[in-house]
Amino acid sequence: MSKENTTVYILLGLLRHEPMSGYDLKKRIDLSVSRFWDVGYGQIYPTLRTLEQQELVTKNSGERSGGPDKYVYSITEQGRDVLERWLRQPGDREYTKYEILVKLFFGSSMSPNENIARIQDFRARQSTEFNMMGRFKDSLEQVMAENPDHLHFYLTASFGEKIYRAYVEWADEAIALLERKGTAIDPPVQSEESAQNETPNEADC
Amino acid sequence: MSKENTTVYILLGLLRHEPMSGYDLKKRIDLSVSRFWDVGYGQIYPTLRTLEQQELVTKNSGERSGGPDKYVYSITEQGRDVLERWLRQPGDREYTKYEILVKLFFGSSMSPNENIARIQDFRARQSTEFNMMGRFKDSLEQVMAENPDHLHFYLTASFGEKIYRAYVEWADEAIALLERKGTAIDPPVQSEESAQNETPNEADC
DNA sequence: GAGCCCATGTAATCAGTTACATGATTAC
DNA sequence: GTAATCATGTAACTGATTACATGGGCTC
């Protein structure tokens, strides 16, 4: 995941909308892009410094009573140019790594029930995300009816919803396959976690 | 993506099946786990060295005529133990990063057509993968009828198929949304790439 | 003779994570 | 009093990518 530092453009993109502190940037990221590109404090502060050195952002001290100082960063014209150039540049890449699939792939020495438990864990995590994305998408849909400005946010939310649904659907199918295999050998052991919802929608709320 | 070196277990997992050289490992990875966890030469050779130092694998020179030496690595009992322990360990994680979504999220300054072109690029890539996974899954299904040993491979292939399908479906919906937005302002510009297939299945073969 | 496959590896660099350090304010 | 939130950052580390280097054999 080296080369072509995307973090830089995330910070520029958020600052183009509104000047912010490093802390604020992190909060914004957690509420928006983090699902498809997460950035931690350990990257934000050093990156802001190099952006300042390159004059793509300016650092201004913001008012604050007590505690450490607060610094507000604003994007410069140069920063906007750099961002625009990147946005127009083709050849996007995606990086996906799934530990669970590695374990499943090599999991022939595990019992079906062990593999099922692992998948159920995965399912639970993705189901939560799926529900969050769904609520998100719904509220954006309502907002968009009056104001189409949120379309780009909506597109990313619908991406999330689609992918998380696919995760959950796969998990259910995989569990069903392994359960068939399990009952063919073992007595039908019902683990207490296998109280599954028929549709992903009804899960945790 | 630091801590908990998954690469180690991929190499151990492949070597558990059969002794191999670093070069062979890379080829195997490209044909199997690379879609959900890729590993390059730059990681394979150094990792093999540390695995040897930890006595999780042994290095033996294999016969080869001409060219550089060939070394064949075999897993040790210790290596098997370490692998098994990892496989049973819960708490899997996934790492996903999508540059295209970052660009789309900040893409309000782009024209609808520019964003459509970007998504079409994404769609083309994922559609290829989807078709590959489909063929893969089909052939595994036939093999599994006689021999259920390939179930774990099948599960990962069906994961891939599900996810790539979701990508393609999302892309089609996103393009449709942006096209509506585009035609509302611009004259209906049909780019030469927008000869889309109705179903993802029929795409490139 | 060009180009691909076999086969090994190193070096440089970067991206990203985690843990640490500090300290005030606010809400329970 | 204790926990959470606000707010800044650094240091150590490691995972991962990319480019480089070497060289024989095989096929067109």
Q: Are B204 and B125 in contact (CB under 8 A)?
A: no
Residue A95 CA: distances (Å) to CA of A5, A81, A170, B34, B36 = 13, 26, 20, 11, 9
Looking at residue B204, its pLDDT comes to 47
Maximum distance among all Cα pairs of chain A, rounded to whole angstroms: 69
| Whether A10 and B102 lie within 8 Å, measured CB to CB | yes
Asked whether residue A7, judged by its CB, lies under 7 Å from any atom of the DNA or RNA strand C, the reply is yes
Task: Return residues 124-183 of B near A (CB < 8 Å).
Answer: 148-149, 151-153, 155-156, 158-159, 162-163, 165-167, 169-170, 173-174, 177-178, 181
pLDDT band at B2; cut points 50, 70, 90: low
Distance CA B52, CA B46 (A): 10
Cα angle A64, A65, A66 (rounded to 5 degrees) comes to 115
Ramachandran assignment for B3, one of left (phi > 0), alpha (psi -120 to 50 degrees), beta (any other): left
Number of other residues whose CB lies within 10 A of the CB of residue A58: 15
Looking at residue B3, its pLDDT comes to 73
The partner residues of A74 in beta bridges, in order of sequence, read A58
Distance CA B103, CA A83 (A): 10
| pLDDT for B189 beyond 60 | no
pLDDT band at A202; cut points 50, 70, 90: very low
Q: For residue A78, how many C-alpha atoms fall within 13 Å in the half-sphere facing its CB?
A: 8
Number of other residues whose CB lies within 10 A of the CB of residue B48: 21
- How would you class B5 by CB atoms within 10 Å of its CB: exposed for 0-12, middle for 13-18, buried for 19 or more? middle
Looking at residue A190, its pLDDT comes to 52
Q: Are A139 and A157 in contact (CB under 8 A)?
A: no
| pLDDT for B184 beyond 80 | no
Helix (H, G, I), strand (E, B) or coil at B11: helix
Looking at residue A68, its pLDDT comes to 67
Q: Are B89 and A110 in contact (CB under 8 A)?
A: no
Report pLDDT digits (tens) over B120-156. 999 999 999 999 999 989 999 998 888 877 999 999 9
Report pLDDT digits (tens) over A192-201. 444 444 455 5
Looking at residue B62, its pLDDT comes to 81
Report pLDDT digits (tens) over A14-35. 999 999 999 999 999 999 999 9
- Residue owning tokens 């995760």: A167
Looking at residue A151, its pLDDT comes to 94
Report pLDDT digits (tens) over B96-129. 999 999 999 999 999 999 999 999 999 999 999 9
CA-nearest residue to A104 within chain B is B152
Report pLDDT digits (tens) over A133-191. 999 899 999 998 888 889 999 999 999 999 999 999 999 999 999 999 877 655 555 54
Asked whether residue A40, judged by its CB, lies under 7 Å from any atom of the DNA or RNA strand C, the reply is yes
Q: Are A102 and B13 in contact (CB under 8 A)?
A: yes
pTM, rounded to two decimals: 0.89
Task: Return residues 107-126 of A near B (CB < 8 Å).
Answer: 107-110, 114, 117-118, 121-122
| pLDDT for B183 beyond 80 | no
CA-nearest residue to B36 within chain A is A97
Q: Rounded to a whole number, what is the distance in angstroms from the first to the last CA of chain A? A: 34
**What are the chain B neighbours of A162 within 8 Å (beta carbons)?**
166-167, 169-170
Looking at residue A147, its pLDDT comes to 82
User: pLDDT exceeding 70 applies to what percent of chain A?
Assistant: 86
Give the nucleotide nearest to A20 (CA→C1'): D7
